Structure 1
Amino acid sequence: MKLNKAMQSFWAASMVTTMAVGMVGCGGKAEAPASTPAAKEEVKSEAPKEEAKAEPVTVDIFQFKVEIAEELQKAIDLYTSKNPNVTINLQTVGGGDDYGAAQRALFQSGQEPTIFNIGGPQDVVDWKEYLEDLSDQSWVSTAGTTLGAVTDEGKIYGMPFAVEGYGIAYNKEIFETAGIDVSTIKDLASMDAAFAALDTKIKSGELKDKYPNLEAVVEMPAKELWVMGLHASNLFLNQEFATGMDAFKAKEVAFTKSADYKTYMDMMIKYSPNASTPAKANAVDYSTQVDQGIALERVAAIQQGNWIYGGVKNVDPAVADKLGFLPVPGDSIPLGVPMYWGINCKKSDAEKQAAKDFLNWLYTSEEGKDIIVNKFFFIPPFTGYEKYPAQDALGKAIMEYQAAGKTTPWVFMGYPTSWGEQVLGVNLQKYIGGEISWDEAIKAAQEGWKSSRQ
């Protein structure tokens, strides 16, 4: 996918482009192997020598994206079939599990992976001693301005996963059938009015014949701390912090849009199947929301991103193609890089090179590009994908928002370590469960932010 002027404008406006955080990773750039001129001596009567077989090497990958786990394994199988000396072991932890905590435990146990995931500047700080400098990789020149979050003093420590956007993914057909014009949704008040109208039609049984499973407007997976504490909070904290770097540098968080954040969270419960028993939302996970929710047309809308398309398609391709995005909380959607691939600089040269070779193949070969776009359903973070435009409904919707300049940044990459989930997210669960007030939840989150930045 070529970065046109609109895309370039997006990267300049919404990505963290100046995240030089003053850290030192392991070592400098990996040196390219010295080239040796081919021998020109004539070999007279000797039989030709057999080419030396490549030495066996094992690469362990520890990654967070459960949505691509199956297709990533298929990609690995394809790659290793062409490179039989390479063994690649894949482990995926994500969804309802805390990837960051699992990664820390893995390193502490001495089972360090070769390839692992890092987020923004806070992760560069936390993992600096394990990060290989990737500045000399060929894909760097095609990555636009996506590398600021993982750049320190000119050195690049991560390869971007993809470009992703999120908001309220919704079933366009259900809203149309209910006679709701989504173009009128511009803010929280107009979203509440639209949801109320749909809620009335669902409860009256008016939509039952066409959508027999439909029981509620939305589903909030409050069990998933990242949904509430990272993505939902970003909708409001990105109005307080212009970039992830601003969040990273901030010693305190004011929550200037706390009232709007509360309105939004309350709305996600009020129009859910758990409206009368909010505490039950704390048991709702990603699978319930996506695979058993919007994919089955049990709910009409959910807060998620374009990464859900593959999962919904696996359940019902027809439903997947009905999906689009509602902007939240205004006329825009957050767009950013979800994670970066990092390479463990403490591994052997052979392992590091094998890791780099695999990632290069995955993102720059024609086979790999097809996998990235048509199997992973990623929006590529690199140029050179002109022959591979987004084909899925949600990918296309993201590109439309981007082209229109209606995007906002992901600032949660600059939150303190684990704050979004283990501090803010946990306190939001307590609020939903009726254990504490909204003000108490926000105050606890503010104190957690401040103490982590002292």
Structure 2
Amino acid sequence: MKKLISTILIATLVTALFVGCNKKPEYDVYIWQSKGEMADALDALAKVYETETGKTVKVISNRASDDHMGPLRAEMNKKDMPTVYSIQGQRELNEWLGGGFVADLTDWSFADQVAFGQGGITKDGKLYGIPYNIEGYGFVYDTQMLLDLGLTDTDIIALRDGSFEDFQEFVVALNAWIKGETVAGKWAVMNNAKKEGNLKNVNSVIGFPGKAAWVYGDHLVNIPFVYEFGNQANALEAKTIDFTYANQYKALLDLQITYSKEGFTNDLLQHDYDEQVKIKFGGGEVFFIQQGNWAYGSINDIDAEKAARLAFIPLKVPTTVDGVSIPENHPDSMPVFAPNYWAVNGKVSEELQNEAKAFIEWMYTSEVGKDYVVNKFNFIPAVKGFEDADLASMYSLGNSVLDYVNRGKALDGVFMAMPAGWSMNELGKKLQGAYLTSGKQEDFDEAIKHAILKWEELKR
């Protein structure tokens, strides 16, 4: 009898374990993604998908933290892990591949739809991620503010395509006008402009977010690194860096800080992305901010009319500084890149992988999905199938990025291949520690020396 009871208990436990291990997850699709500005719109689109298909979708967007890898690693350690998640470039792909968390998408027919030269993320000839979108960044400006100063469309194009020195001369003239001084030379037309209308709140030329280390640690350093490495692949393989064009980088960094309201002071470190974009630029206090097309939504929330008038002037560096020259400088071009890729979790069942792929494909091919991509996510699509009619409502900064792409004036997003944590922690925060408030050459040199050593350490 005891033997019979034991047999029954064992059978019951085995059955329970079998059922538990094979229990279907609560959701058909579980999305974990790191682009906070699209969070609300993606939640809404997921509900539309549920209504149309009868599937259940869970969405978690990492809204606030600069560190998205930590929270994502935690989710990947749970029983019901994400089935779709975001990867930011090759350096993150390598980590997830090592654990088997990335499904091979090479034979997925939808993968052939990637456009604009921004292919999916690959390794050893296999495809592992589909780009969310393409993005670009530079100096954002309000066209009407420059026209109100007396500039013509031809003047603005000349600034767009001109050298660092051309742009610097204009910034100096703007600063003089703001101070109420007489502007001499080629920009004397400003003397006729009044501080009224779109210009009434102006108090400085450039808004600089000293607290946001990624602005100058990631994005600004991309400009000299494009000339040092050429592309992401070379940067990814580099065990050491020379930081050959550090002084070109410094020239552009100095220009922004010098002509910000705060200058090289402790106050500079109190200003973050939101203040730069919403208050300083959205409120018409500055002419330029270094940001990307992702800032459009925040500006549109403040002033829709202003948001409709936005465009980019490229981030420019001087060709020669202290005898060191860039062989082929491109002051008329801006970085354009895929910031995130959709990856499918290789650890989940084939059924869940197929559900994940079905959602991604629906998002970029259905009429409602395409509307969300362009008009709610404010994305510049990186996949084919978006016709002129779909892009007719493309927002101002999106159109500006596409203009650079269509004119062949796009630089690579080399910063995407830098060692994880290097740009923020070893360069950006080191600059915050001294140089951004002192402006001293020795503090800048120390930050660059530190960053060079840390690159090598992180690559070991």
Residue 183 (str. 1) matches residue 150 (str. 2): no
Equivalences for residues 173-322 of structure 1 within 5 A = 173-180=144-151, 181-185=155-159, 186-204=162-180, 207-210=194-197, 211-275=199-263, 277-322=264-309
Q: Does 1:393 align with 2:393?
A: no
Map residues 121-132 of structure 1 onto 2, 5 A cutoff.
Answer: 121-128=90-97, 129=99, 130-132=101-103
| CA distance in structure 1 between the partners assigned to 2:260 and 2:232 by the alignment | 31
The worse-fitting range, judged by mean Cα deviation, of 342-351 and 389-398 is 342-351
User: Which residue of 433, 436, 441 maps to 1:432?
Assistant: 436
The Cα of 1:212 is off from its aligned counterpart by: 2.9
1:144 deviates by 4.1
1:333 is aligned to 2:304:
no
Q: Describe the shift of the 1:428–1:109 C-alpha distance in structure 2 as closer, same or farther (beyond 3 A).
A: farther
Matched, 1:363 2:364: yes
The answer as to whether partners of 2:213 and 2:424 remain within 8 angstroms in 1 is: yes
Q: SS of the counterpart of 1:230?
A: helix
* 1:207–1:437 Cα change, 3 Å: farther
Aligned mates of 2:252, 2:91 — CA distance in 1: 27
RMSD: 2.3
Distance (whole Å) between structure 2 residues aligned to residue 71 and residue 408 of structure 1: 29
The residue that corresponds to 2:60 in the other structure is: 90
Indicate conservation of the 8 Å contact 1:146/1:337, yes or no.
Answer: no
- Pick the aligned partner of 1:60 from 7, 23, 30: 30
Residue 107 (structure 1) shift:
3.9
Pair 1:131–1:55, CA change in 2 (3 A): closer
- Aligned partners of 2:36 and 2:61 also within 8 Å: no
Quote the offset at 1:197 in angstroms.
1.4
| Gap change, CA 1:145 and 1:183, over 3 Å in 2 | closer
Can you list the C-alpha shifts for 1:76-104, whole angstroms capped at 9, x where unaligned? 1211122333132322235x632234434
Distance 2:120 2:90 in 1: 5
TM-score, normalised to structure 1's length? 0.82
Question: Which ranges in structure 1 are unaligned for 5 or more consecutive residues?
Answer: 1-53
Partner Cα distance (2:124, 2:57) in 1: 34
- TM-score, structure 2 length as denominator? 0.81
- Equivalent positions of 1:148-167 (< 5 A) are 150-167=121-138
- The SS at the match of 1:169 is strand
| SS at 1:134 equivalent | coil
1:28-47 matches, cutoff 5 A? none
Task: For 1:310 and 1:145, locate their aligned partners in 2 and report how far apart those are by CA, in whole Å.
Answer: 23
Contact 1:62 1:93 in 2 (8 A): no
Following superposition, the deviation at residue 55 of structure 1 comes to 9.2
- Alignment match of 1:443 (pick from 421, 443, 449): 449
Matches of 1:109 and 1:294, distance apart in 2: 42
Letter of the 1:360 partner, please give it: E
Structure 1 pair 242–154 and aligned structure 2 pair: CA distance change class (3 A)? same
Residues 135-179 of structure 1 show CA distances to partners (whole Å, capped at 9, x for unaligned) of 232321111475656212232111101011111111111122223
Structure 1 residue identity aligned to 2:376: K
Matched, 1:116 2:85: yes
Q: 1:109 to 1:55 in 2, by over 3 A?
A: closer
Q: Per-residue deviation at 1:196?
A: 1.4
Q: Tell me which structure has the larger Cα radius of gyration.
A: 2
Deviation at 1:106, TM superposition (A): 4.3
Counterpart CA distance in 2 for 1:146 and 1:324 is 22
Deviation for aligned residue 1:444: 0.6
- AA aligned opposite 1:182: I
Match of 2:44 in 1: 74
Q: Provide the secondary structure at the position in 2 that maps to 1:179.
A: coil
Is contact 2:138–2:334 with CA below 8 Å preserved after alignment? yes
Q: Which SS does the other structure have where 1:116 is aligned? A: strand
Q: Which residue of 2 aligns with 1:17?
A: none
Q: C-alpha separation between the residues in 2 aligned to 1:443 and 1:306?
A: 32
Residues 93, 99 of structure 1: 8 Å contact kept: no
Higher helix fraction (1 or 2): 2
**Aligned mates of 1:138, 1:56 — CA distance in 2:** 28
Gaps of 5+ in 2: 1-23, 182-192, 317-330
* Alpha-carbon separation, structure 2, partners of 1:147 and 1:405: 14
Using the TM superposition, give the Cα deviation of residue 120 of structure 1 relative to its aligned residue in structure 2, in angstroms.
2.0
Q: Residue 111 and residue 204 in structure 1: after superposition, are their counterparts in 2 closer, same or farther (change >3 A)? A: farther
Aligned-residue identity in percent:
33
Tell me the alpha carbon deviations over residues 265-295 of structure 1, each in whole angstroms, 9 at most, x when there is no partner: 11111111212x5332222211111122212
Note if contact 1:139-1:364 (Cα within 8 Å) is conserved in structure 2: no
**Matched residue SS, 2:278:** coil
